[in-house]
């Protein structure tokens, strides 16, 4: 294995289809028009010396090192800013150029420390490389002149010197090593879109400045790492590199955080990760990253990881560490005795959207074939199950229609109930890039999110009241239909016309107009009409949505309403358009694809279908139950009811993430055997009898499927610290129950998935290694996968319009609970925080805060930072208030990353009518000043402490 060195072509790729041919150093080179001479030379294998150019940002032409000579032209132009043209004859190395370059380098080095041997970038420094490339041997000016290098000069403090900024937990900024190439500034602007950095001053005073000369941590910097990646010297360097040294080999793998699915190079020394660097060829992220994937992987070696299996008879006892064999035997014995006593259907399993496709597939296989029932579900139940239902109903597939590249062709983006800047940051950066090129943005969200108001981004914001999505979307449809903006030609060709007519008649009813619905939605009818016109007529319209759509009583209805809008305007079936669910976790799409839902086998085929079931029965050699099993909320209800007694949970913290914590506690307490398979003693483990230690994404092989249906490899870079990869654990548990599953490697599991699932028929590890990734469907019809779906027609045949009547949720405000609580995420934390809370990311967010409008706060005597009591019909908790007008009066907002807040104590059991996806996004609450933790929080904390005890066995005499 060696370090993967990606070629830096110096300037971005030109997308032109017109080709030009020129001669560089006697060699003929043909490149797309608009390509720089620097890039053309690199494509022919000639590295022109450069410092300020890198292909992640546009050419800048400041370092004067990449000079060239062109026959028939005067001077020595910069090759990064000079476009290739037909017939040019270019020389990259002449006596004149050599002299100029050496002179430039000499000036750079005269103001740069010569501590190369002890510098963190030693071996990975472009300045060092360039000094070597131009043959710099001597610096005639000496090092004693005016400089930025030394703290003192001639016995006095050097005003030009600045100390190292170590405020960011993951990287340092050492101004003494800066050559002011501005690559970091441009990466922050062009790639990330945050504009946190600038160059302050002029000439010799020029400095990289976070915000107005603040510290990195104190500035707007979101710690995406793009600047560090862009830096050619040791000025911006990962602290891990400073501590460990340069990596010696690297492996391409896939991030285990959100559904964007960024490809990373895990850069290693032995089995130690030195750093994670976004991979340029990653088709989801195109070389970009966010603070989580780039830096927040420290949890993988965190001291709180549990590495030994543990068991106990009751949750009142401390845990007892045992061997894998004893743990499997204990768990299997319990599950079997439950089945003997309460029936075959009394146990079940939950697959993880954080684990690999292969692991998820095995858990559902264990449940269906080993347990003999279909009581298998996944955390997608509580996030995107309505997407599955809604898009399958209207289009015929349970997945988003586009790839992320599609956004480069979008003219109008509509974001509904999602905040990509926080939850899908790399996609947000790609979208913002398109917005800066002139695309328009509509945001439908109760909060003024970071997407509404960002540097060079101004969205048309429809701040609706939580719970009124369907009314707003139907009103948009009303405007489109009644103003004659529907794309009838598209609808006639692709959709069922009579269903469209029914739908059009429904949405046209006066009760669905923006003016009539405004009283419920709170949205200004004028803005709504403008948004509808813009989406329908502004060119390629793409809808991106998140859990603010799905996590409602009418979640599935809203997804259907979105699909209706896309069909009615013809925004389906080509790049730049589509309906795009932004998936929460890394493998939500995959876990759904793999048959994690109780009613369907892998590939979204209902369990009652005889032919499909028989194909699985033949390969698994076992009879399958044709009846749908319990969904997660049904499992809880059945547990309280006494008919569900045993649960195997892989990689999900149901206690913290599922709504109405008290109800979940009651359900878990009613079970006789709860098996938690996880990295840490999570909240669910407080009620568990068996703990099976899990492995991280760095410790196993497999695949994840991101929000674009893209299947990407996860590659093992270190041995599992707990001894077994997760797929091996599931096999072990199955074996102890008498159900054998035999695989030597996850690739064999994928082969089985491919053999049984038509949409995966062409997928294999070999193909993924060859192509990097594929988007399903991948089969004989589409051997290299399907970036955009429904191109010639819908998967289901004719697109189906379905009437979407607005039904108000039963969770309503009342005098005792006058405010509406909605929940969401923050950039630095992820989901229940089990991973990110165990990293330095806590410097950005160490507690959940309650966002409240100044008006509501004043009425209650709440000041910024005060402790407040948040109470709903389900429960109460306390947290600190943050006063902000991001939320409208009447609406409050919080995150759910911290177990000591437990926002889900507050949320209720109301759920989506079709899928039982919980209504996290609307809870009627009251807020009042408080002195400290609620009784519930105190009791919870005491129970958690008690339950997490591990008995340490004394050594034998």
In the complex, the residues that contact another protein under the rule CB under 8 A are 345, 374-375, 506, 553-554, 556-557, 598-599, 606, 608, 627-631, 634, 637-638, 641, 643, 803, 805, 807, 913-916
Q: What DSSP letter does each residue of 837-866 carry, written as one string?
A: GGSGGGGT-SS-EEEE-HHHHHHHT--TT-
What is the rounded distance in angstroms from the CA atom of residue 173 to the CA atom of residue 191? 19
Place of tokens 């994840």: 704
Extract the tokens encoding 466.
């939580």
* CB-CB contact of 522 with 888 (8 Å): yes
Cross-strand partners of 236: 173
776, HSE (Cβ side, Cα atoms, 13 Å)? 29
Nearer to another protein, 606 or 938 (CB): 606
DSSP state of 379: G
Min CB(557)–another protein separation in Å: 6
Q: What span, in angstroms and rounded, lies between the C-alpha atoms of 355 and 652?
A: 10
Q: Which is nearer to another protein, 345 or 856 (CB)?
A: 345
Among 204, 212, 203, 215, smallest CA distance to 173 is for 215
Provide the minimum distance between the beta carbon of 372 and another protein in the complex, in angstroms, as a whole number. 14
CB of 556 to another protein, least distance (A): 8
- What is the DSSP code (8-state) at residue 930? -
Nearer to another protein, 293 or 348 (CB): 348
- Residue 599: CB minimum distance to another protein, A: 6
Q: How far is the CB of 920 from another protein (least distance, A)?
A: 17
Q: Which is nearer to another protein, 539 or 628 (CB)?
A: 628
Q: How far is the CB of 914 from another protein (least distance, A)?
A: 7
Least Cβ distance, residue 83 to another protein (angstroms): 57
Q: Is 697 left (phi over 0), alpha (psi -120 to 50) or beta?
A: alpha
Which is closer to another protein, CB of 27 or CB of 608?
Answer: 608
Minimum CB distance to another protein smaller for 599 or for 745? 599
Residue number with CB closer to another protein (598 or 746): 598
Q: How many CA atoms lie within 13 A of 797 on its CB side?
A: 2
Nearer to another protein, 182 or 660 (CB): 660
Q: In angstroms, rounded to a whole number, what is the distance separating the alpha carbons of residues 771 and 762? A: 12
User: What tokens appear for 433 in the block?
Assistant: 């890039």
Give, as one character, the DSSP assignment of residue 22.
E
Judged by CB, which is closer to another protein: 524, or 637?
637
861-868 CB contacts, 8 Å cutoff, 24+ apart: 861/929, 862/927, 862/929, 866/929, 867/929, 867/930, 867/931, 867/932, 868/927, 868/928, 868/929, 868/930
Considering beta carbons, is residue 312 or 631 the nearer one to another protein?
Answer: 631
**Dihedral sign of CA atoms 576, 580, 584, 585 in order:** negative
Could you give the CA distance from residue 53 to residue 42 in angstroms, rounded to a whole number?
A: 12
The residue among 196, 643, 563, 194 whose CA lies nearest residue 396 is 563
Minimum distance from CB of 453 to another protein (Å)? 36
d(CA 43, CA 61): 19
In the numeric block, which tokens belong to residue 560?
Answer: 């259907």
Q: Rounded to the nearest whole angstrom, what is the least distance from the CB of residue 392 to another protein in the complex?
A: 11
Q: Mutual orientation of helices 469-482 and 514-521 as an angle, nearest 10°?
A: 170
Which CB sits closer to another protein, 7 or 608? 608
- Strands (DSSP E) along 361-446, which ranges? 376-378, 412-416, 440-444
- H-helix or E-strand containing 133? helix 126-133
CB of 362 to another protein, least distance (A): 22
Q: How far is CA 60 from the centre of its chain?
A: 31
> Least CB distance from residue 295 to another protein, whole Å?
41
Residues 6+ apart with CB under 8 A from 646: 334, 335, 338, 339, 346, 347, 348, 671, 672, 673, 674, 675
What minimum distance in Å lies between the beta carbon of 532 and another protein?
21
**Closer residue to another protein (CB): 513 or 841:** 513
3-state secondary structure of 824: strand
* CB of residue 379 to another protein, shortest distance in Å: 18
Cα distance between residue 231 and residue 220, in whole Å? 19
Closest separation between CB of residue 389 and another protein, Å?
9
* Minimum separation from the CB atom of position 898 to another protein (A): 30
Nearer to another protein, 171 or 604 (CB): 604
Residue with Cβ nearer another protein (186 or 381) = 381
Give CA separation, 604 vs 349, 592, 625, 705, in Å. 18, 8, 16, 15
Torsion of CA 400, 406, 408, 412, to 10 degrees: -50
Pick the closer one to another protein by CB: 125 or 495.
495
Nearer to another protein, 96 or 606 (CB): 606
* HEC profile of 272-293: EEEEEEECCCCCCCCCCCCHHH
Read off the tokens for 288.
Answer: 């970009």
**Calpha distance 546→584 (Å, rounded):** 8
Shortest distance (Å) from residue 885 CB to another protein:
35
CB of 385 to another protein, least distance (A): 10
Please work out, in degrees rounded to the nearest 5, the angle formed at the alpha carbon of residue 549 by the alpha carbons of 547 and 552: 90
Least CB distance from residue 814 to another protein, whole Å? 19
The tokens describing 36, both together, are 């720089």
CA-to-CA distance for 391 and 604, rounded, in angstroms? 12
Check whether the bond before 136 is cis (ω within 30° of 0): no
Cα distances (Å, whole numbers) of residue 509 to 259, 495, 513, 515, 672: 38, 22, 7, 12, 54
């Amino acid at each position: 294995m060696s370090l993967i060195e990606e070629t830096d072509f110096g300037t971005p790729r030109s997308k032109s289809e017109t080709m030009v041919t020129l001669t560089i150093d006697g060699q003929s080179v043909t490149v797309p028009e608009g390509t720089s001479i620097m890039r053309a030379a690199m494509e022919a294998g000639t590295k022109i010396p450069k410092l300020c150019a890198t292909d992640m940002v546009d050419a800048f032409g400041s370092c004067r090192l990449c000079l060239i000579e062109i026959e028939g032209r005067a001077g020595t132009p910069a090759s990064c800013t000079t476009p290739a043209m037909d017939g040019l004859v270019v020389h990259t190395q002449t006596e004149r150029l050599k002299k100029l370059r050496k002179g430039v380098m000499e000036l750079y080095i005269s103001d740069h420390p010569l501590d190369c041997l002890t510098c963190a970038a030693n071996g990975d420094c472009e300045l060092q490389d360039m000094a070597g490339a131009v043959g710099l041997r001597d610096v005639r000016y000496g090092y004693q002149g005016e400089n930025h290098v030394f703290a003192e000069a001639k016995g006095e403090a050097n005003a030009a010197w600045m100390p190292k900024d170590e405020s960011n937990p993951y990287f340092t900024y050492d101004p003494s090593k800066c050559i002011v190439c501005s690559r970091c500034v441009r990466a922050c602007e062009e790639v990330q879109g945050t504009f946190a950095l600038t160059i302050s001053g002029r000439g010799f005073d020029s400095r990289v400045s976070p915000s107005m000369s603040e510290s990195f941590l104190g500035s707007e910097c979101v710690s995406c790492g793009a600047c560090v990646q862009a830096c050619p010297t040791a000025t911006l360097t990962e602290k891990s590199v400073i501590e460990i040294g340069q990596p010696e080999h690297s492996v391409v793998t896939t991030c285990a955080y959100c559904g964007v699915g960024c490809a990373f190079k895990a850069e290693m020394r032995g089995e130690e990760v030195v750093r994670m660097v976004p991979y340029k060829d990653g088709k989801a992220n195109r070389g970009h990253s966010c603070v989580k994937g780039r830096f927040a992987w420290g949890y993988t070696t965190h001291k709180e990881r549990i590495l030994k299996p543990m068991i106990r008879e009751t949750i009142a006892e401390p845990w007892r560490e045992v061997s894998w064999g004893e743990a499997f035997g204990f768990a299997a014995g319990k599950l079997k005795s439950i089945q003997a006593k309460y029936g075959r259907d009394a146990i079940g399993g939950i697959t993880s959207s954080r684990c690999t496709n292969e692991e998820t597939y095995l858990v559902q296989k264990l449940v269906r074939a080993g347990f003999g029932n279909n009581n298998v579900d996944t955390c997608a139940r509580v996030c995107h199950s309505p997407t599955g239902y809604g898009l399958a109903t209207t289009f015929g597939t349970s997945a988003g229609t586009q790839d992320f590249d599609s956004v480069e062709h979008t003219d109008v983006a509509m974001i509904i109930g999602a905040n990509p800047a926080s939850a899908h940051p790399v996609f947000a950066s790609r979208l913002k890039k398109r917005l800066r090129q002139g695309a328009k943005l509509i945001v439908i969200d109760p909060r003024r999110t970071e997407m509404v108001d960002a540097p060079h981004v101004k969205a048309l914001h429809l701040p609706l009241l939580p719970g009124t999505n369907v009314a707003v979307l139907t009103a948009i449809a009303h405007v489109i239909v009644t103003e004659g903006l529907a794309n009838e030609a598209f609808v006639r060709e692709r959709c069922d016309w009579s269903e469209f007519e029914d739908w059009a008649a429904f949405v046209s009813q006066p009760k669905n107009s923006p003016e009539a619905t405004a009283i419920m939605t709170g949205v200004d009818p004028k803005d709504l009409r403008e948004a509808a016109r813009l989406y329908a007529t502004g060119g390629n319209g793409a809808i991106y949505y998140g859990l603010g759509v799905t996590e409602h009583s009418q979640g599935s209805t809203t997804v259907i309403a979105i699909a209706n809008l896309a069909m009615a305007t013809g925004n389906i079936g080509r790049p730049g358009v589509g309906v795009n669910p932004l998936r929460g976790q890394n493998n939500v799409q995959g876990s759904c694809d793999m048959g994690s839902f109780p009613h369907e086998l892998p590939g979204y085929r209902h369990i009652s279908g005889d032919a499909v079931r028989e194909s699985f029965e033949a390969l698994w050699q076992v009879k399958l139950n044709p009846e749908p099993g319990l969904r997660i909320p049904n499992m809880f209800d059945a547990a309280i009811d006494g008919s569900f007694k045993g649960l195997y949970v892989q990689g999900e913290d149901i206690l913290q993430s599922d709504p109405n914590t008290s109800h979940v506690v009651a359900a878990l307490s009613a079970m006789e055997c709860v098996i938690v398979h996880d990295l840490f003693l999570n909240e669910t483990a407080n009620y568990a009898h068996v703990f099976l230690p899990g492995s991280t994404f760095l410790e196993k092989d497999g695949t994840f499927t991101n929000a674009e249906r893209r299947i990407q490899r996860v590659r093992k870079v270190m041995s599992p610290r707990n001894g077994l990869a997760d797929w091996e654990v599931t096999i072990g548990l199955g074996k102890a129950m008498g159900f054998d599953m035999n695989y030597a490697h996850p690739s064999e599991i994928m082969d089985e998935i491919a053999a049984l699932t038509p949409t995966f028929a062409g997928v294999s590890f070999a193909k993924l290694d060859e192509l990097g990734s594929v988007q399903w469907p991948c089969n004989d019809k589409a051997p290299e996968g399907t970036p955009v779906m429904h191109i010639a027609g819908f998967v289901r045949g004719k697109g189906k319009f379905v009437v979407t009547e607005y039904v108000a949720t039963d969770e309503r405000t009342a005098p005792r609970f006058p405010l509406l609580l909605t929940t969401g995420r923050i950039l630095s934390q992820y989901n229940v925080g089990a991973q990110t809370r165990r990293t330095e990311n806590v410097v950005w967010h160490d507690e959940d805060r309650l966002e409240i409008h100044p008006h509501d706060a004043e009425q209650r005597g709440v000041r910024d930072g005060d402790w407040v009591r948040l109470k709903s019909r389900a429960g109460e908790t306390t947290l600190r208030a943050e006063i902000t007008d991001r939320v409208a009066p009447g609406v409050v907002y919080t995150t759910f990353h911290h177990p000591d807040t437990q926002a889900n104590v507050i949320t209720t059991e109301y759920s989506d009518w079709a899928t039982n996806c919980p209504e996290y996004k609307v809870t009627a609450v009251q807020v009042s000043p408080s002195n400290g933790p609620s009784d519930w929080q105190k009791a919870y904390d005491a129970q958690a402490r008690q339950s997490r005890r591990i008995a340490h066995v004394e050594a034998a005499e």
